[in-house]
Amino acid sequence: MPMAEVTEFPVLTTDRLLLRAVTPQDAEPFRALLATPGVTEFSNWPDDPTPEQGREFAQMMAGAFPHGLGCSWIIEERQTAAFVGAVRFNYFMREWSCAGVGYEIHPAFWGRGVMTEAMRAVVVCGHDLFGLHRMEGWTLLGNGASDRVLEKVGFRYEGTTRGRGWFKNAYHDARWFGRVQGDPIGPPPPAAGL
pLDDT digits (tens, 9 = 90+) for 91-130: 999 999 999 999 999 999 999 999 999 999 999 999 999 9
How far apart CA 40 and CA 36 sit, in angstroms, is: 8
Q: What does the pLDDT read at residue 194?
A: 46
pTM (predicted TM-score): 0.93
pLDDT for residue 189 is more than 60: no
Sign of CA dihedral 61, 64, 65, 69: negative
Read off the pLDDT band of 9 (50, 70, 90). very high
Mean pLDDT of the chain: 94
Q: What band does 190 get if pLDDT is binned at 50, 70 and 90?
A: low
> Hey, which residues does 102 pair with through a beta bridge?
88
Task: Give the phi and the psi of residue 9 in degrees, each rounded to 5.
Answer: -60, 130
- Residues 35-64 have pLDDT tens digits of 999 999 999 999 999 999 999 999 999 999
Q: Are strands 17-21 and 134-139 parallel, antiparallel or unpaired?
A: unpaired
d(CA 151, CA 116): 9
DSSP 8-state secondary structure symbol assigned to residue 72: E
Rounded (5°) CA angle 89-121-7:
55
